[in-house]
């Protein structure tokens, strides 16, 4: 069995007792509770991840920028999406998802580090390279520092459970053969030791539309985007770093 699956299962079991009382809560209560969990995380950011000003965006924005990036080949940076800025989604398939792009993976970092804005030609070249990555069948996802926000202990943050999928014998794949696939919240499977498991969070697939290989993001995933085995407990996940690459050792 997949080592990651057991780790996540143990992670979830730690909180089953504390969630048993939620059986009598309404969905609105659960959403309000989640807002409180996320609000505390943003306020205290226990590991130094200052959120700064969070920009809220609606589903029309998501659809518009996705089309401009994937169909019109416009770099997300030219559409106003900023590195290291947190965005929250207010409605649509990814309602209550928070994301922050840490690294585009577009090969233009050297230019930015010099304090220069990439040229149109550099952006165009980057977008051609993006198609090679995005239009692939599979994308490998690695995540570090996954925390459960529902019962996070801010008084002793190091006592909280933290998991990752950095074990080379365990890996998570997002299938990526067409843009319309992302209208769903169900994305991928973990592969390892001949067994298949559901993706830990549908929200992991959202940012790929904007990114290149070796890109990195941070995410807060609401319980509505967590797969069935975890959503039944209404868990809210924070991913410190998620990295997207080509799974060159797996069939494409």
Digit-coded pLDDT (tens) for 18-45: 555 455 789 999 999 999 999 999 999 9
**Residue 252 forms part of a structural domain:** no
Tell me the helices (H) and strands (E) count for the chain, helix number first.
7, 9
**Residue 219 forms part of a structural domain:** yes
Q: How many residues does the chain have?
A: 252
Which residue would you say has higher pLDDT here, 190 or 140? 140
Asked if pLDDT for residue 200 goes beyond 70, the answer is no
Could you tell me which of 26, 29, 92, 30 has the C-alpha nearest to residue 58? 92
Q: Which two tokens stand for residue 232?
A: 């039944």
> What pTM was estimated for this model as a whole?
0.82
- Are the C-beta atoms of residues 215 and 243 closer than 8 Å to each other? yes
155: domain range? 3-245
**Residue 84 forms part of a structural domain:** yes
| pLDDT tier for residue 202 given thresholds of 50, 70 and 90 | low
Which residue would you say has higher pLDDT here, 142 or 202? 142
**Residue 170 forms part of a structural domain:** yes
Whole-angstrom distance, CA of residue 37 vs CA of residue 151? 8
Count the Cβ atoms, other than its own, within 10 Å of residue 84: 12
Chain segment 74-130, per-residue pLDDT in tens: 999 999 999 999 999 999 989 999 999 999 999 999 999 999 999 999 999 999 999
Domain total of the chain: 1
**Residue 46 forms part of a structural domain:** yes
**Residue 250 forms part of a structural domain:** no
**Measured CA distances, 185 to 69, 188, 210 (Å):** 20, 10, 17
**Residue 22 forms part of a structural domain:** yes
pLDDT value of position 195? 36
The string of DSSP codes covering 11-53 is HHHTTHHHHGGGGG--HHHHHHHHHHHHHHHHHH-TTS----S
CATH number at residue 135: 3.10.50.40
Strand partners, 190: 172, 197
Whole-angstrom distance, CA of residue 204 vs CA of residue 174? 8
Sequence-ordered alpha helix ranges (H) in the chain: 3-13, 16-19, 27-44, 59-70, 109-113, 120-134, 228-231
Count the Cβ atoms, other than its own, within 10 Å of residue 190: 20
**Residue 136 forms part of a structural domain:** yes
């Amino acid at each position: 069995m997949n080592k990651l699956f057991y780790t996540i299962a143990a992670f979830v079991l730690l909180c089953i007792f504390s969630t048993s009382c939620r059986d009598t809560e309404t969905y609105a209560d659960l959403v309000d509770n989640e807002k409180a969990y996320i609000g505390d995380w943003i306020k205290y950011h226990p590991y130094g991840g200052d959120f700064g000003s969070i920009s809220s965006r609606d589903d029309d924005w998501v659809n518009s920028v996705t089309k401009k990036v994937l169909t019109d080949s416009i770099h997300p940076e030219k559409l106003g999406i900023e590195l290291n800025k947190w965005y929250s989604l207010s409605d649509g398939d990814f309602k209550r998802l928070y994301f922050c792009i840490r690294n585009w993976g577009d090969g233009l970092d050297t230019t930015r580090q010099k304090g220069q804005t990439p040229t149109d030609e550099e952006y165009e070249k980057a977008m051609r390279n993006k198609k090679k990555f995005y239009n692939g069948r599979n994308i490998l996802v690695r995540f570090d520092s996954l925390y459960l926000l529902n019962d996070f202990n801010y008084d002793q943050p190091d006592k909280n459970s933290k998991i990752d999928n950095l074990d080379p014998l365990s890996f998570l794949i997002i299938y990526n053969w067409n843009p319309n696939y992302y209208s769903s919240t169900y994305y991928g499977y973990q592969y390892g030791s001949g067994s298949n498991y559901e993706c830990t969070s549908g929200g992991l697939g959202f940012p790929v539309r904007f990114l290149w290989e070796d890109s990195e993001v941070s995410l807060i995933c609401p319980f509505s985007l967590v797969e069935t085995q975890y959503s039944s407990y209404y868990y809210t996940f924070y991913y410190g770093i998620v990295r997207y690459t080509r799974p060159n050792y797996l069939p494409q």
